[in-house]
Structure 1
Amino acid sequence: MSPAVPGSTARAAPPAGAAPAAPLPAPGPALACDVATALVLWRRDLVRFFRQPSRLAGALGQPLIFWFVIGSGMSGTFRMAGSGTGYLAYFFPGVVLMVVLFASIFTTLSVIEDRHRGFLQGVLAGPGSRAALVAGKTLGSASVALSQAALFLLLAPAAGFPYGSIDWPLLVAALALAAVGLAALGFAVAWFIDNVQGYHAVQMTLLVPLWVISGAMFPVPADRPGFATAMRWNPVSYAVSAARRALAGPDAPGALPGSAARDLAVLAAFAAIALAAAVLSTRRAPRA
């Protein structure tokens, strides 16, 4: 028998007659690892949000000031044919989507921060797949956005929308699909950009037109067919339209032609495409 090598980590053979060593436990199923990874990332983003009081205050204060200042300034000149809706009521669903839009996108800024701190590389080295990474970060960002929107929706009665008259299933479904799609889009952009300043520049160039050309601030001009076409191709327009229907009824002023089911179908397709794009973007190795 060959002598043992000092410092060797080889396991010694069991003595004759001894029971065989128990086999090492097999790794868990891939699905279980993916679910655990996604849940950890989702919970991490939520904990980070609720542990920062300044973000909680800004989640309600900033859109409240924006809604009240612009709404009050425009209320004297806003006129919508065939409707007695005031501008504060018309503008309210648009501000709700503004909260979802900006919160969903800018929460994914943590993708760049986590990469620079090495956390992202640690997740990639773990047992979870890249799809689980996308799912966890997307759900975390979307949950933060929905939390902020929920705070602002506490003001719905002040805008003329009593809680009992709101179609909550439609509103939650529309906001959730929009938040998931926008968060996945933000993840895909953040994966390719290496610095925070560049991310802000790209997203602001993208976000402001998406929100403005959605019917959030004013209805579609009848004499501007190009503007109407841009709104029909803008997924945020369908989120605003669904929110209007949920708050003010199926024939809400400013809602897109069609039905709430069509709005949700477009938002679901947008969320699926954005998630697929985010997963595909992870095939490119992130830079340290």
Structure 2
Amino acid sequence: MDIIYTIWLRNMKRYTRSKSRIIGSISMPLFLLIFLGFGLNAVVTLPGSGNYIVFLIPGMVAMSVLFTSVFSGIQIIWDKQFGFLKETLVAPVSRLEIMLGQTLGGATTAFIQGIIILVLSLFIGLAIDNPARFLVAFLFMALIGISFTAFGIAIASRMEDMTGFQLIMNFVIFPVFALSGAFFPISSLPPWMGIVTLLDPLTYGVEGIRYGLTGVSQISPLICLAVIGGFALAMTVTGAFLFRKIRI
């Protein structure tokens, strides 16, 4: 457990010392939330709600967690190139502990980024009618962070180039986010797109956060929890397997 904590703490210190990283990670979700939310609020009518800004908030929280977590995998490539990973791997500790430390560190920073967006959302339309339900949103934010941090580590374990990693992540993550139901209700999509959306694991994370923040979800929160929880477990196992085979 000491190595897991040490690597987690290293990630947290790097995160808190990088103010530009914090600001950069919240800028795009906040921009979309303000301009897209207020711009379409008078145009888009949602069944049973009508408030597009409130509908959009869970998606932007998920976006902040998603992009922060998945790009934390680039640290693996960075550590490869600068020799830190080699020094870590030759230490008398298991690679599983190293991977879990990296995963928890990336997931924690992603969770904090989501909290920042969530707090800012309180000033632009999000109302707290049941504070206890926020714990549900926190749970889904944590699961998204673990899932996609492990996914990023799994991809980074097989790569050597940071630019290539970023290109592949953009190619994969943008469709995952766009098809997650973050922008429009699943029920309003064409049937074929609705099916694709339900195949997207992030959809269940977004709907879980939406239930926690608004009390409304188009998918049962228990189903959301089962799917995103299973995905987090699968990605952690996959990431651990690929990280164990990493070569320096």
TM-score bracket, normalised by the shorter chain, equals over 0.9
Instruction: Name the structure 1 match of 2:240.
Output: 279
Counterpart of 1:276, as a letter, is V
Aligned match for 1:262, one of 201, 220, 223: 223
In the alignment, the residues of structure 2 paired with residue 178 and residue 139 of structure 1 have an alpha-carbon distance, to the nearest angstrom, of 12
Count matched residues: 247
Alpha-carbon displacement from aligned partner over 1:164-191 (angstroms, at most 9, x marks no partner): 5241221111111111011000000011
The answer as to whether partners of 1:38 and 1:135 remain within 8 angstroms in 2 is yes
2:83 is the alignment partner of 1:104: no
In the alignment, the residues of structure 2 paired with residue 75 and residue 205 of structure 1 have an alpha-carbon distance, to the nearest angstrom, of 29
In the alignment, the residues of structure 2 paired with residue 134 and residue 63 of structure 1 have an alpha-carbon distance, to the nearest angstrom, of 28
Instruction: Name the structure 1 match of 2:119.
Output: 154
Instruction: Name the structure 2 match of 1:203.
Output: 169
In the alignment, the residues of structure 2 paired with residue 135 and residue 262 of structure 1 have an alpha-carbon distance, to the nearest angstrom, of 26
Q: Where in structure 1 are there 5+ consecutive unaligned residues?
A: 1-34
Counterpart of 1:248, as a letter, is T
2:184 is the alignment partner of 1:184: no
The answer as to whether partners of 1:142 and 1:183 remain within 8 angstroms in 2 is yes
Counterpart of 1:281, as a letter, is L
Q: Helix, strand or coil: the match of 1:108?
A: helix
Structure 1 residues 128-167: aligned runs within 5 Å: 128-163=93-128, 165-166=130-131, 167=133
In the alignment, the residues of structure 2 paired with residue 256 and residue 86 of structure 1 have an alpha-carbon distance, to the nearest angstrom, of 16
CA-CA distance at 1:108 after TM superposition: 1.6
Counterpart of 1:150, as a letter, is I
In the alignment, the residues of structure 2 paired with residue 95 and residue 196 of structure 1 have an alpha-carbon distance, to the nearest angstrom, of 26
Over aligned residue pairs, what C-alpha RMSD do you find? 1.6
Cα 1:261–1:159 shift into 2, 3 Å:
farther
TM-score (norm 2): 0.94
Counterpart of 2:125, as a letter, is G
CA-CA distance at 1:107 after TM superposition: 1.5
Alpha-carbon displacement from aligned partner over 1:194-245 (angstroms, at most 9, x marks no partner): 1011101110011011111010011125562221111111110001001110
2:137 is the alignment partner of 1:171: yes
Larger radius of gyration: 1
Instruction: Name the structure 2 match of 1:214.
Output: 180
In the alignment, the residues of structure 2 paired with residue 130 and residue 229 of structure 1 have an alpha-carbon distance, to the nearest angstrom, of 38
Cα 1:52–1:87 shift into 2, 3 Å:
same
In the alignment, the residues of structure 2 paired with residue 243 and residue 224 of structure 1 have an alpha-carbon distance, to the nearest angstrom, of 23
The answer as to whether partners of 1:210 and 1:234 remain within 8 angstroms in 2 is yes
Identity across the alignment (%):
27
The answer as to whether partners of 1:193 and 1:199 remain within 8 angstroms in 2 is yes
Cα 1:282–1:61 shift into 2, 3 Å:
closer
The answer as to whether partners of 2:69 and 2:106 remain within 8 angstroms in 1 is yes
In the alignment, the residues of structure 2 paired with residue 171 and residue 84 of structure 1 have an alpha-carbon distance, to the nearest angstrom, of 19
Q: Where in structure 2 are there 5+ consecutive unaligned residues?
A: none
Aligned match for 1:67, one of 27, 30, 33: 33
